[in-house]
Amino acid sequence: MSKARTIKVDMLARVEGEGAMYVRFSGGKVAEVKLKIFEPPRLFEAFLRGRHFREVPDIVARICGICPVAYQMSAVHAIEQILGVHVSPPVRALRRLLYCGEWIESHALHVYLLHAPDFLGYPDALTMARHHGPAVKAGLALKKTGNQLVTALGGREIHPVGVRVGGFYRMPPKKELAQLLPALREARELAVGMVELVRTLPFPAFERDYEFVALRHPAEYPMNEGRIVSSQGIDVAADEYNDQFMEKHMGHSNALHSQIRGRGSYLVGPMARFNLNFDRLPAHVQQLALESGVEPPCRNPFKSIIVRAIETLVAVEEAIQIVEQYEPPAEDPMRLGIQEPAPRAGVGHACTEAPRGILYHRYELDAHGLVVSARIVPPTAQNQKQMEEDLRGVAEQSAELNEERLRLLCEQSIRNYDPCISCATHFLKLELHRS
């Protein structure tokens, strides 16, 4: 191939937000790769300034309609660190149950409606449903169950409003939660079926030497607590995040590129969680993962669809366990958490595991409990640089493909990350130099 050729896709189908993919070949080699995110910055960090801490959870939930719980949890944990709040075991369990609901609905949406069509050769889930109707219905049923969990604890399935600093506005009675068990038990069978489906998909022979970054908890598969660790030795608390990671503005994208200081790109999300926390999975789930072709360290990003299915099963099983073991606190459930913590000045940090990877929040409050400054680093922004490097690798390995097949493979590579582009454009710092 002696001629220069360019593959450009202005809109990435089945990706939340607006972006473009640009790959340029010259002399048969990849000369340039850019993932252009032109979704405008949303400035959530700026308009959080001056708000009372009680408003923050509801505001940040609006950042994403798919994973609002992750934004609420990271914000609440950071603010509770400032205020010295320690929640009761029932509250902690219900927060994890709420997180399970988000993982279930988000992973089901991605696996069945956004990513499976790539592997099966369909342009979208509607077309796929003509030949795989039961699978699509199973995905929708799983998503519905996840939404029901979010509604039960958050008040509604999108942009929930039930979370508050110190607890929930309402703690559900045991009988009310128990009503979710039939749907959850059915969801467990659907999640097993999801694993069985995705492990048979055709996976491109492609591997990368990633530095995986995820939370790690002493006893649990990580969701809303843990230290930030990496496959190359990072092991820090959330308040040390900025010592290890930095963001850089790129001229071709409104989304900042995150990187490890002194090293470079890194990978967050299901693959990172799985590889760094395989020993935290139940023994039967570990065995199912091995039988499904994902043995740590798994470095093929296309197999992330299997890991998402595995995580869906984990979330469903934990949700069943939490509901079965749940005992409301001795206090009146309607009154628990209503007394607001006293404001104090300080800085708080937190990191939780959104479905797409670690989500970092930092807040500074004044003595009146008003936000002085805020910083939010979403997982898609953290993966941005790694996505571009994957695109380069895919293009280099598959340069002989025709334009259409290479374009589809590159789009599929991006969807490995399940990116939320709108979330990624959280902040823009432009440095302008004139000569």
**pLDDT surpassing 50 at residue 434:** no
Q: Does CATH number 1.10.645.10 belong to domain 44-424? A: yes
9-64, pLDDT tens digit by residue? Answer: 655 667 777 778 888 888 878 888 888 887 777 788 998 999 999 999 999 999 98
Question: Residues 162, 168: contact at Cβ < 8 Å?
Answer: yes
| φ/ψ bin of 231: left (φ > 0), alpha (ψ from -120 to 50), beta (otherwise) | alpha
- d(CA 69, CA 224) in angstroms, rounded, equals 10
pLDDT the model gives residue 19: 78
> Where along the chain do the CATH 1.10.645.10 domains lie?
44-424
Which residues are bridge partners to 244 per DSSP? none
- d(CA 233, CA 167) in angstroms, rounded, equals 34
Q: Which among 357, 208, 209, 199 is positioned nearest to 273, based on CA atoms?
A: 357
Task: Assign 431 a pLDDT band (cuts: 50, 70, 90).
Answer: very low
| φ/ψ bin of 262: left (φ > 0), alpha (ψ from -120 to 50), beta (otherwise) | left
- d(CA 121, CA 99) in angstroms, rounded, equals 32
Average pLDDT estimate for 143-155: 96
150-196, pLDDT tens digit by residue? Answer: 999 999 998 999 999 999 998 899 999 999 999 999 999 999 999 99
Question: Residues 117, 124: contact at Cβ < 8 Å?
Answer: yes
**pLDDT surpassing 80 at residue 322:** yes
- pTM of the full structure: 0.93
253-271, pLDDT tens digit by residue? Answer: 878 889 999 999 999 999 9
Q: Which among 308, 255, 303 is positioned nearest to 102, based on CA atoms?
A: 308
79-114, pLDDT tens digit by residue? Answer: 999 999 999 899 999 999 999 999 999 999 999 999
pLDDT the model gives residue 338: 55
